[in-house]
Structure 1
């Protein structure tokens, strides 16, 4: 689904992503882990087209998207949920969700996608007419994920979906990702500081440190590698 080759992204003299190579298989959940400043968010922003890389290649389903504008990567089947969700608080929950499918021409399919999101996140259905500003932190994260799903992506990028949320809400979101992968074949690239939670649902894990990949392995292997966990993952 996704191939990243020798990807480097810089902010002035700083190499936030430094020669990263990464492959994400179709229908897999891949967790990108590491401490603050490891380059995780920059990696997602580069893949999604929000930041231009200095060098390297990004391919999605074999198509080079390295320098594609963000709006074209969305139309090509990629969706990003940024850190903090980024919902528009002045709009209602329903309006936020409809934004996710605004570019899709099939109104019937948009309505069907809205029903599917409400089934995944029942609290949103009860609040469709309310301003997003009235939602709790967990509900806003559900809304951000739901909005991304409205575009019916094949590849979903998630940046710190559990940030600041109660453990019960985090568990619910992780379960939704697992269910979506099982039911739709959705491919997920998941950035998380809560490494234990991310690895519990992931197939594979990638550990970043100072913009570089220090290890790529099956999720189970990362969970059982005590030295690596202590050095890079904080548990």
Structure 2
């Protein structure tokens, strides 16, 4: 569903993404791991159109999306949940969720999507009228993912969904991601610093270091020793 070939993205003279190639088959959950500064967030921002690549190709469902505006990419079904979620704290939970499906004209389908999101995240069901600023960190992350799901995406780009969350909440988020893949066939590209959590739900994983892919392997085959070397810079 998503294929990158020799993608380069830079901020000035710094190559944040340096010749990255990867493939994400439809209906799979693929993890992208790496230490801080490895280029993980920049990679997602480049895929979703927030950063224009300097070179290389990005194809989503066989359509070249390199340089395409972010809103057009989202309408194609490729939806980005950024680090910290981007929840609008001044709005209620219901209003945040409505924003996710606002461009979809089928009101019945929007209502059905809302029901599905609340089924996935029961804590949101009892907080619909609450202002998003009153939510816990875990509830905000649920809201961010739920808002993305309201648009009926074909693929999710998730940036550090477990960041700052308690282990129990992280486990709940990972169970939801597994459920979305197994029950709905949703394709997910998951950026995570919590390697253990990501590898527990992913089928394939890439590890980045200094903007480059240094490990490309099935998730179950990536050893703690290999990750230790990468995270400590001994690549």
- The alignment's TM-score, normalised by the length of structure 1, stands at 0.97
For residues 180-220 of structure 1, give each alpha carbon's deviation from its aligned partner in whole angstroms, at most 9, with x where no partner exists.
Answer: 10111000000000001000000000000000000100000
For residues 107-160 of structure 1, give each alpha carbon's deviation from its aligned partner in whole angstroms, at most 9, with x where no partner exists.
Answer: 110111001000000000100011001100000000000000001111100000
Question: Unaligned stretches of 5+ in structure 1?
Answer: none
Pairs within 5 Å for 1:165-176: 165-176=165-176
RMSD of aligned C-alpha atoms?
A: 0.8
Report the Cα offset of residue 170 of structure 1.
Answer: 0.3
Find the aligned partners of 1:74 and 1:104 in 2 and give their Cα distance: 12
1:17 aligns with 2:21: no
2:83 alignment counterpart: 83
Find the aligned partners of 1:25 and 1:158 in 2 and give their Cα distance: 16
Report the Cα offset of residue 232 of structure 1.
Answer: 1.8
Pairs within 5 Å for 1:75-154: 75-154=75-154
1:231 alignment counterpart: 229
Structure 2 SS opposite 1:8: strand
CA shift in 2, pair 1:135/1:13, >3 Å: same
Find the aligned partners of 2:170 and 2:224 in 1 and give their Cα distance: 24
Aligned residue pairs total 232
Structure 2 SS opposite 1:52: coil
Pairs within 5 Å for 1:6-85: 6-85=6-85
Structure 2 SS opposite 1:103: coil
* Native 8 Å contact 1:81 1:148 kept in 2: yes
1:216 aligns with 2:216: yes
Large movers: runs of 4+ above 2 Å: none
Find the aligned partners of 1:42 and 1:84 in 2 and give their Cα distance: 15
Structure 1 SS opposite 2:7: strand
* Native 8 Å contact 1:8 1:56 kept in 2: yes
Question: Unaligned stretches of 5+ in structure 2?
Answer: none
* Native 8 Å contact 1:58 1:64 kept in 2: yes
* Native 8 Å contact 1:33 1:233 kept in 2: no
For residues 13-56 of structure 1, give each alpha carbon's deviation from its aligned partner in whole angstroms, at most 9, with x where no partner exists.
Answer: 00000000000011110000000000000000000011111111
Report the Cα offset of residue 227 of structure 1.
Answer: 3.1
